[in-house]
Amino acid sequence: MYHIGCRRGDVGRYVLLPGDPARVPMIASYLDDAQEVAYNREYRTFTGTLLGEKVSVTSTGMGCPSTAIAVEELAKIGADTFIRVGTSGRMQEFMEPGDLVIAWAAIRDEYTSQQYEPLAFPAVADHEVTLALRQAARHGGLRHHVGICQSKDSFYGQHEPERMPVARQLQDRWAAWVQGGALASEMEASTIFVVSRVLRCRAGGIMIYGGTHADLSNLLETAVTGVKLLIERDKE
């Protein structure tokens, strides 16, 4: 594959998708016999096994355009189950640092997915993937929330909207999503959900609130446990 640098046989059907290439070996450490198979541009891939099944970790880079490329190319070489694993900002005051957010849907506040489906088409996660992630969080006894996240194109449009020429529009939309109950803001999930639907693949998303300096161990362990549950159910 031109961008991710992988070919058929390099990756498993299950792929965990962090944004940051530096997090790929962190996640891969939870797999058995994981090895790096490719690193090109923002796309870094490790592959190992869980319960005897081949599982991969591929970084998507930051934002939806590069994420769509990763999902497209991974699907072409055999992957069919994708889980977004990353950090997010909170949108609800009751959330505490370290809380996990399992996204069953995403607000499509980005333009990449509109190259696949019009905005009326929902960005919804696969229910089996979502339930596996929720069960994993419950088994770990971790604080978690299941709901909607916002996927955006502009990091600073969210964090410094007041200096943007479209400040009022950004602030009004944000207020509406918060009032509607959206839990977290991030930059990839909606495109993963939409592209996966178009490709007839499964997708889910789990994020942690706490920023780039958060302890990611609970997030990574929960994501990997979720994959194990999916593998067991798929074998059944």
In a domain, 205, yes or no: yes
* C-alpha angle 183-184-189 in degrees, rounded to nearest 5: 115
Q: What is the pLDDT of residues 158-214, one digit of tens each?
A: 999 999 999 999 999 999 999 999 999 999 999 999 999 999 999 999 999 986 667
pLDDT at residue 231 is higher than 70: yes
pLDDT at residue 101 is higher than 70: yes
> Where residue 214 sits, what CATH number does that domain have?
3.40.50.1580
In a domain, 4, yes or no: no
pLDDT value for 176: 97
In a domain, 5, yes or no: no
- Band the pLDDT of 130: cuts 50, 70, 90: very high
In a domain, 97, yes or no: yes
- Residue 182 phi, psi (nearest 5): -60, 140
Longest dimension (CA), the chain: 54
pLDDT value for 213: 66
**Average pLDDT, rounded, for the chain:** 97
Q: What CA–CA distance (Å, rounded) separates 111 from 138?
A: 34
- What is the domain extent for residue 176? 14-235
Q: What CA–CA distance (Å, rounded) separates 65 from 188?
A: 9
In a domain, 73, yes or no: yes
In a domain, 177, yes or no: yes
pTM of the model: 0.96
pLDDT value for 212: 60
Q: What CA–CA distance (Å, rounded) separates 111 from 31?
A: 34
| 3-state secondary structure at position 227 | helix
How do beta strands 14-17 and 81-90 pair?
parallel
Closest by CA to 14, choosing from 70, 83, 113, is: 83
pLDDT at residue 71 is higher than 90: yes
pLDDT at residue 151 is higher than 90: yes
pLDDT value for 211: 62
Closest by CA to 71, choosing from 45, 49, 51, is: 45
Bridge partners of 49?
32, 54
Residue 193 identity (one-letter amino acid)? F
User: Number of folded domains in the chain?
Assistant: 1
In a domain, 6, yes or no: no
- Asked if 94 and 215 count as a contact pair (C-beta separation under 8 A), the reply is no
In a domain, 31, yes or no: yes
**Hey, what are 197's tokens?**
């639907």
